Structure 1
């Protein structure tokens, strides 16, 4: 039986999520726009003929930034057996309760593969680049894309499905800008360095409270990189307070 499977990378995700901290834990919780930049020879527009008839797509991708990421695909089977985690601690359960890895969407899996359904926007040619624009992706910037498939409503949607400990959407908190951050935001907007769309997307991300579930100190200041900005915030029971937003050097 053949056990070594090599999969091509057809493209890379370009998104405002520049670090794992802050990425929504499921797709479509935040309507952030991003795009897949296709790689040759898969950047052929003919390969996407007819895709405009579908409202949503499946993205199949690779968890590429794990600390225990398997580097050598030729010895993947041996390494996976040595590093296999039968149980993990899902953030949704507070990070304290263990559950079987195959009952979760944890990134620490035998095969580091993810699956996300996203809303399709358009196929766009930008110079020599072919881009597939989507909204709702939960992928880190630079994520390798292994495949793109259309979402089929009648078979992929299961209205009465049971989702265990993740049956309900996470509660969203109110996002407030503190005085210093409000001044910084206004200045960046006036200079054209910050776009209103980025502000809206950032607020959606923070409303989900990206902190680890076991951290609940309302005075602790957290830092998160979103798009080209470093954002500081703190969280209490009901609100997320943006303390500072600073444009990072992107050269």
Structure 2
């Protein structure tokens, strides 16, 4: 049996590529996204009453993983990318049906443009939304819940900025109106260690880069950083450059 589903909204997100997106919602709470309702669902009446809620659930499609065939077992980053677990015991984006569930904090409801501004979202820009539901604390917050595989958040890495990158952040902050400064926003993303799991635990230095749009109405930034790992396990992350990208 099959059913046909319609997209009711799309996400406008700071994350323009999969690399660098926090692996769970709420880990980069300073970055804001926008849920824009589409077509017949773009009616203010659809959002009436949502102002009484602080958070929402979003059911969405992993639209950038549709070409990858699902497997019964996957290799989660938490296990270093070299041990397998059943797909239904993980939140892998490659699933029998490419549907995901995420939570976001409501920052503002825009009834004029029929959109919801949210924070802490972990979704790629352009992600199609299938449904929006209110978070209901007395049933959704289960105090006795256990997940032995993921009992606590991963340790955050210390992030430092070279002088040029820090100067860029200072200049950016004079032009933008974000609640948090650019260096703090970047730190929230990079402290989660977005490296592929198979690259972790190896000694040496390696440079990485990603694009990010910290302000949805602002420019895209190219951010480059270096990880240094030693044989003793010491790790450091240094942002070496930030530059605006012309798109």
TM-score between both structures, scaled by the size of structure 2:
0.88
How many corresponding residue pairs?
232
1:28-64 CA deviation, whole Å, 9 max, x = no partner?
1110211101111111111111111111110000000
Instruction: Tell me which residue corresponds to 2:238.
Output: 241
Instruction: Tell me which residue corresponds to 1:12.
Output: 10
Report the CA distance between 1:249 and its aligned residue: 0.6
Q: Is the 8 A contact 1:185 1:194 kept in 2?
A: no
Matched, 1:232 2:220: no
Matched, 1:141 2:141: no
Query: Unpaired segments of 5 or more residues in structure 1?
Result: 70-82
Counterparts in 2 of 1:246 and 1:194: CA distance versus 1, 3 Å = farther
Residues of 1 paired with 2:80 and 2:222: CA distance?
26
Counterparts in 2 of 1:133 and 1:187: CA distance versus 1, 3 Å = closer
Matched, 1:86 2:86: no
Report the CA distance between 1:131 and its aligned residue: 1.3
Residues of 2 paired with 1:244 and 1:169: CA distance?
28
Query: Unpaired segments of 5 or more residues in structure 2?
Result: 214-219, 229-233
Aligned-residue CA RMSD in angstroms? 1.8
Residues of 2 paired with 1:238 and 1:200: CA distance?
19
Instruction: Tell me which residue corresponds to 1:72.
Output: none
Residues of 1 paired with 2:210 and 2:129: CA distance?
24
Report the CA distance between 1:189 and its aligned residue: 4.1
Q: Is the 8 A contact 1:234 1:243 kept in 2?
A: yes
Residues of 2 paired with 1:57 and 1:224: CA distance?
28
Matches within 5 A, 1:138-217: 138-190=122-174, 192=175, 197-215=181-199, 216-217=202-203
Residues of 2 paired with 1:238 and 1:194: CA distance?
33
Residues of 2 paired with 1:171 and 1:240: CA distance?
13
Counterparts in 2 of 1:219 and 1:194: CA distance versus 1, 3 Å = farther
Q: Is the 8 A contact 1:123 1:131 kept in 2?
A: yes
Residues of 2 paired with 1:59 and 1:121: CA distance?
15
Residues of 2 paired with 1:194 and 1:247: CA distance?
17
TM-score between both structures, scaled by the size of structure 1:
0.86
